[in-house]
Structure 1
Amino acid sequence: MEHQHRSRPAPSRTSDTEDMSRAVSGDEIVRLLAPRLAYFAGVARTEHVTRAAHEMQVPQSTLSRAMVRLEHDLGVDLFARHGRTVSLTPAGRTFLASVERALGEVEKAAESVRADADPESGKVAFGFLHTMGTETVPGLIRAFRADHPRIRFSLVQNYGEAMLERLRAGELDLCLTSPVPDAPGLVARRLDEQRLRLVVPEDHRLAGRKRIRLAETADESFVTLEPGYGLRRITDDLCAEAGFTPRIAFEGEEAETLRGLVAAGLGVALLPPPAVPRPGVVELTVTGQRAVREIGVAWLEGHPDTPPVAAFKKFLLSRRGKLLPEQASAG
C-alpha cells in the first residue's frame, strides 16, 4: 500500500492566479473580457448587483456570474462584497477608468458608423481621377445634392490603380476611373468616354493642323503621366497601335502639368480636353484610331451599400453618356 502511495504523482501546488494567467493570456483575454465590460461598469457605477441588473435589464444571477468570471479571468479581486452591496477595490478602480474610456470609444464608433449610414445625412467615400476634379466631380455632386442636400462626401483624388487598391481595402465606396477595370472582386460600369487630343506647343511644326494621325508623331518627344496611370497605359497602347514606342521626355502626375510642359516646348502629349482652353498649346484631333479613354464607376463585388452610397451609385449610373461637362474647344 505504501509503495502504491509513493508511486502517485504529487498534485500541482501552483497558485490559482498562476493557473489563470496561463489560461487567459494575450489576445484571448480581450475575447473573454470584452462581453463583460459593460456589466462591470454598471455594477461599479451602482455598487449594487441587484440595482445594476435592474437597470441593465439582465437577470441578477447572470450579472453575478459574469462578475465572478471576470475576476477569475483577470486573477484579481475587483470588488469587495458587503452583503448585497459591493465596492471597488483599488484594482477595480484602476480597471474601471480604462473600461470607461474603452466603452466611450465604442459608443463614439457606433455613433459614427450610424451617422455615416444615415439615409438623409450619411457619408460617401468617393474617389476619382485628378482630371475629373476641376469640373466633372463638382458638377456631379452639385446635381446629386439638389435632391440629397445633407449627404456628406469624403473625396479622394488619385490615379486609377491606387484608387482600386483603396477600394479593395474598404477605404472607398465608389470610384470614377479609367480604363474601366475588369478584375476579380470588383464590379464596374462604363459611364462615358473622352476623346483624347494630341497637344502640341503653339509654335510646333504641326500647330497649323486640325487633325493628325498618331503615326506622324513617331519622332516626337512625349510628356506623359507616370507608369501606373490609366492614361499612360492608353498612350502607350495607342502609340503601339500606330507602330512606334513613344520617346518619353518627361513624366508627371497631373494632366494640366503636362499641358504646361507642352506649352514650354518640352514635348507633345495625348490628353483629354481641358476644362478651359490653355494658352500656349494647340490641341489636334487624332484620326485613324479610336483615341478615347473610357470612364467608369467601380465598387466592391458583394459589398453592402449604406443608403447614401446606394443613392449616389444610382445617380452615377443614371448619368451614362452624360457624365462629362461640355468640353473646351480645340485649337
Structure 2
Amino acid sequence: MPTALGSRIPLASLIQTLTVAEYLNFRHAANALGVAQSSVSARVKALEEDLGILLFERHARGVRLTEAGRHFIERIAAGVDQLDHAVKTASMAAVGECGRLRIGIHALIPHSFLAKLIGQYREDRPGVEVEITEGTAREAVMQLRADRLDVVFVAGTPELPDCHSRRIWTEPLLAVLPEQHLLAGRPAVTWADLAGETFLVRHGGTGPQVHSHIVLRHAGRWPSPSIQRFDVGRGTLLSMVGQGFGITIVGAATALLPTTGIVFLPFADEPKPITFSAIWSPSNRSAALRNLLTLASDMDRPSRAY
C-alpha cells in the first residue's frame, strides 16, 4: 500500500515554509528561525517538488504566495497549531496541570479539611476538571476498582490488598445530643454515659462506619444501645436528634455546620481521634492525583486538623 505524501514531509520543512509565508522573505525567515538562508531555500524548494506545485513566486525583494500556496499555508497553519496544542496539552497533563480528577467522598462540609483541600487544589490547578461523587466507603471503593474514580476519602485506615492508602487527616469524635438532654450541659461525656441510648445512623455517607464504632464501644456493656438506621442526609439526621429521636456521633467537622436544637460534646474516654484516609489504585499514574496527595500531606497540620 503506497505511503501518503503527507507522512513523508518533515515537520521542519512545514515550519520553515510557514515562516517564509509569514515574512515573505527567505533571509528574514532564516534569521527568525536561526538557520542558514540556503537551508530554508532548499527545504522549501524540495517541498514544492514533492508536492508538484509552486508555493511561492520569487522576486528580487522577496516572495509572494501563489493561490495554491495560500490554500496550502492556511491548512498547514491550522494543522501545526493543532499539533502545538496537542504537545502543550500533553505536557500539562504529564505534570497534572490539566485533565480530570474523579474524587469519591463521604461528605463535603464547608470549612472542613476536605473542603479546604479540594478548594485549594482547584485554585492551584484550574486546568484540572474535578468531579465529586458522594457515597458510602463500600460504594466508593467499588467505583475505584471499576476505574470510575481516581481517589476516595474514607473514615478509618482500611487495609485493601489491591489498593494504596494513606492517612490524610484526623478529627475528634463528638456526641450529638438534643439541647434538652440531661447530659447536654456537661463539658464531655463517656461511652458509659450513653449506655441504653438510642443511636441514629445513616445508611449513606459514613453511616456504616458509625454503626460499627457504636457496636465496638458498647461491646460487653449493659444495657446495650438501640441503633436505628435511616436513609436520610446528614442535615436531616441532625434535625432528628434535635427533635428527640435519639443521639448520634460525628466527626468534629460536622460541628461546623449551622445547626439548632443540638449540642456537640467531646468524649472523655475516646482513645484517639478519627482518622480519614485516601485510597487509590496502584496502577493509577495520574499526575493530577499525585499533586492532590502531595497537597494533602502539606496541609495536614495540627492547627488544620479539621
When normalised by structure 1's length, the TM-score is 0.59
Q: Decide whether aligned partners of structure 1 residues 160 and 312 sit closer, same or farther in structure 2, where only a CA change above 3 A counts.
A: same
Q: Which residues of structure 2 form unaligned runs of 5+? A: 9-85
Are the counterparts in 2 of residues 199 and 271 from structure 1 also a CA contact under 8 Å?
yes
Are the counterparts in 2 of residues 191 and 320 from structure 1 also a CA contact under 8 Å?
yes
For the pair 1:120 / 2:100, whether they are aligned, the reply is no
Give the whole-Å Cα distance in 2 for the aligned partners of 1:258 and 1:203. Answer: 17
Percent identity (aligned):
21
- Give the alignment partner of residue 116 of structure 2, picking from 139, 142, 145: 139
Please report how far the alpha carbon of residue 146 of structure 1 lies from its aligned counterpart in structure 2 after TM superposition: 3.6
The residue that corresponds to 2:49 in the other structure is none
Give the whole-Å Cα distance in 2 for the aligned partners of 1:115 and 1:256. Answer: 43
Give the whole-Å Cα distance in 2 for the aligned partners of 1:294 and 1:244. Answer: 28
Q: 1:88-123 CA distances to partner (integer Å, 9 max, x unpaired)?
A: xxxxxxxxxxxxxxxxxxxxxx99x96994532211
Q: Tell me which stretches of 4 or more aligned residues in structure 1 moved more than 6 Å.
A: 113-116
Give the whole-Å Cα distance in 1 for the aligned partners of 2:229 and 2:260. Answer: 20
Give the whole-Å Cα distance in 1 for the aligned partners of 2:220 and 2:250. Answer: 17
| Letter of the 1:279 counterpart | T
The residue that corresponds to 1:232 in the other structure is 211
| Letter of the 2:216 counterpart | D
The residue that corresponds to 2:59 in the other structure is none
Please report how far the alpha carbon of residue 124 of structure 1 lies from its aligned counterpart in structure 2 after TM superposition: 0.7
For the pair 1:267 / 2:243, whether they are aligned, the reply is no
Please report how far the alpha carbon of residue 225 of structure 1 lies from its aligned counterpart in structure 2 after TM superposition: 2.2
The residue that corresponds to 1:22 in the other structure is none
Relative to structure 2, which stretch is displaced further, 232-241 or 201-210? Answer: 232-241
Give the whole-Å Cα distance in 2 for the aligned partners of 1:236 and 1:264. Answer: 24
Q: Decide whether aligned partners of structure 1 residues 292 and 231 sit closer, same or farther in structure 2, where only a CA change above 3 A counts.
A: farther
Q: 1:138-164 CA distances to partner (integer Å, 9 max, x unpaired)?
A: 321222234322221011111111111
- Give the alignment partner of residue 175 of structure 1, picking from 130, 136, 152: 152
Q: Which residues of structure 1 form unaligned runs of 5+? A: 1-48, 58-109, 327-331
Are the counterparts in 1 of residues 122 and 130 from structure 2 also a CA contact under 8 Å?
no
- Give the alignment partner of residue 306 of structure 1, picking from 271, 281, 286: 286
Give the whole-Å Cα distance in 2 for the aligned partners of 1:324 and 1:254. Answer: 26
Relative to structure 2, which stretch is displaced further, 163-172 or 227-236? Answer: 227-236
When normalised by structure 2's length, the TM-score is 0.63
Q: Decide whether aligned partners of structure 1 residues 255 and 205 sit closer, same or farther in structure 2, where only a CA change above 3 A counts.
A: same
The residue that corresponds to 1:156 in the other structure is 133
Secondary structure in 1 matching 2:299: coil
Give the whole-Å Cα distance in 2 for the aligned partners of 1:143 and 1:217. Answer: 39
Give the whole-Å Cα distance in 2 for the aligned partners of 1:291 and 1:219. Answer: 23
Give the whole-Å Cα distance in 1 for the aligned partners of 2:202 and 2:303. Answer: 23
Are the counterparts in 1 of residues 109 and 257 from structure 2 also a CA contact under 8 Å?
no
Q: Decide whether aligned partners of structure 1 residues 315 and 293 sit closer, same or farther in structure 2, where only a CA change above 3 A counts.
A: same
Bigger RCO (CA 8 Å, 6+ sep)? 2
The residue that corresponds to 1:288 in the other structure is 269
Q: Decide whether aligned partners of structure 1 residues 255 and 239 sit closer, same or farther in structure 2, where only a CA change above 3 A counts.
A: farther
Are the counterparts in 2 of residues 190 and 320 from structure 1 also a CA contact under 8 Å?
no
Q: Decide whether aligned partners of structure 1 residues 237 and 211 sit closer, same or farther in structure 2, where only a CA change above 3 A counts.
A: same
Give the whole-Å Cα distance in 1 for the aligned partners of 2:172 and 2:295. Answer: 24
Give the whole-Å Cα distance in 2 for the aligned partners of 1:291 and 1:277. Answer: 26
Give the whole-Å Cα distance in 1 for the aligned partners of 2:93 and 2:286. Answer: 5
For the pair 1:320 / 2:300, whether they are aligned, the reply is yes
The residue that corresponds to 1:196 in the other structure is 173
Secondary structure in 2 matching 1:294: strand
Q: Decide whether aligned partners of structure 1 residues 150 and 317 sit closer, same or farther in structure 2, where only a CA change above 3 A counts.
A: same
Please report how far the alpha carbon of residue 234 of structure 1 lies from its aligned counterpart in structure 2 after TM superposition: 1.9
Please report how far the alpha carbon of residue 305 of structure 1 lies from its aligned counterpart in structure 2 after TM superposition: 1.6
Give the whole-Å Cα distance in 1 for the aligned partners of 2:251 and 2:184. Answer: 17
Q: Over aligned residues, Cα RMSD in angstroms? A: 3.0
- Give the alignment partner of residue 164 of structure 2, picking from 183, 187, 194: 187
Give the whole-Å Cα distance in 2 for the aligned partners of 1:116 and 1:299. Answer: 22
Secondary structure in 2 matching 1:248: strand
Count of residues in correspondence between the two structures: 222
Q: Decide whether aligned partners of structure 1 residues 295 and 309 sit closer, same or farther in structure 2, where only a CA change above 3 A counts.
A: same
